[in-house]
Homo-oligomer: A and B are copies of this chain.
């Protein structure tokens, strides 16, 4: 028996016949686990260590004789604090080199506050260059715009696709700002990665595991948006798909979850994800609110809650916009928004009120 603490505990039925007990034990051992039998006062217990993660994904509680399975270890060892390949004990940081010699490198996480801004979609070269220039001048350090757009209706504008990527390449060179843009299809990965500094996985694709596996095999940073009806566990497991395949440059993005009364930006996700994971966390108050008038207050709130940055949608002509115009703010409002958020962030960092960013081992065990 290894000395590792058990990763799960099975509570068995009182006076379970030994052959049934042995079938359970044997099956667990076949699956790569070590099992210790405890003769409790009323119930027998099995303390299970070793390869428990696959066991957690099968319905052990439906096995005859099992009363309850109690998982104790983290479901996502690479993404969690204090474990994983790199033994993360400090928050991880995603670094982007500068675009040109004159352009500074960008980092996301661990003390920086990074703003990624731009229009929902690339609509034409002239507007895209103009918006990227304003974004950079306003303090954003990454430019976002979609060339491939996942749209609910087949009759909606689907993005300029390859032409959009060409425009983004031009913007990157001309304005000198790194690019984040969405990849929808594993077949486009090479083409998108050839232009983009950061690859975005949209909310609709957080459960697209075929895509996540490919992203785990590439070297680009990934901006992973939370699925619109996904739990924290599912979100972190999606990140684990990427890290467990070898790419540990992942930024988590909270962008709102669907509720019975519309989409709600879950700012409580930031301290919760922080407690569970070393990955940087940014917030998208644009999609998280769906309405321009709420972007400034929610951006400030995201800074106050401890996010490592923001994803902000800007547009200069709502009547001309081909997607999601109602949540884009005017480019002229961006600089003030960023100033406010940085001021809040500085205030928080200088506060001596305790935050406990890295949990102790024992409390970590409770998820």
Contact = CB atoms under 8 A, between A and B. Distances in A.
Interface of A: 1, 5-6, 9, 11, 13-14, 23-24, 27, 36, 38, 40-43, 45, 47, 53-54, 56-59, 61-64, 67-68, 70, 72, 75-76, 150-158, 184-188, 204-205, 207-211, 228-234, 237, 240-241, 244-245, 257-262, 264-272, 275, 288-289, 291-294, 296-298, 300-306, 318-326, 333, 336-337, 339-340, 343-344, 347-348, 351-356, 359, 362, 365-366
B261 A257 contact: yes
Nearest to A184: B210
Which 3 A/B pairs are nearest by Cβ-Cβ distance?
A229-B229, A336-B353, A57-B156
Contact of A289 (B58, B204, B268, B325): B268
A325 B62 contact: yes
26 contacts: A57-B156, A59-B325, A61-B326, A62-B292, A62-B326, A67-B362, A67-B366, A75-B155, A76-B153, A152-B207, A152-B237, A154-B237, A184-B208, A184-B209, A187-B187, A229-B229, A229-B261, A230-B261, A232-B261, A267-B298, A271-B293, A293-B359, A298-B305, A304-B305, A333-B353, A344-B344
Nearest to A245: B154
A265 to B, nearest CB: 5
B259 A258 contact: yes
B57 A152 contact: yes
B257 A355 contact: no
Given A63-B325, A154-B209, 13 more contacts: A9-B11, A9-B43, A57-B157, A67-B366, A75-B153, A154-B244, A154-B245, A229-B261, A231-B260, A231-B262, A268-B294, A293-B356, A337-B353
A157 B336 CA distance: 48
Contact of A57 (B76, B155, B301, B348): B155
Contacts of A321: 58-59
Nearest to A202: B207
Contacts of A234: 152
A333 to B, nearest CB: 7
Nearest to A27: B319
A362 B270 CA distance: 36
A112 B231 CA distance: 36
Nearest to A37: B41
Given A36-B42, A151-B57, A294-B268, A210 B237 contact: no
Given A43-B47, A63-B319, A157 B268 contact: no
A16 B85 CA distance: 29
Contact of A204 (B54, B208, B267, B318): B208
Given A187-B186, A240-B154, A321-B58, A347 B354 contact: no
B319 A336 contact: no
Nearest to A6: B42
A45 to B, nearest CB: 6
Contacts of A340: 347-348, 351, 353
Contact of A45 (B36, B45, B185, B333): B45
Contact of A264 (B151, B154, B268, B337): B268
A41 B42 contact: no
Nearest to A263: B268
Contact of A304 (B9, B230, B268, B304): B304
A66 to B, nearest CB: 9
